[in-house]
Amino acid sequence: MDNGRSPTIRATGLRKSYEEKIVLGGVDIAVPEATIFSLLGPNGAGKTTTVQILSASSPPAPDPRRRIRTHRRT
| DSSP string over 14-30 | EEEEETTEEEEEEEEEE
More confident site: 51 or 72: 51
SS3 51: helix
Cβ atoms < 10 Å from Cβ of 10: 18
pLDDT in tens, 50-71: 888 888 766 666 665 555 555 5
pLDDT in tens, 9-60: 888 888 888 888 888 888 898 888 888 889 999 998 889 888 888 887 666 6
State the pLDDT confidence band at 6, using cuts at 50, 70 and 90: confident
23 touches 45 (CB < 8 A): no
For the chain, what are the domain ranges?
7-64
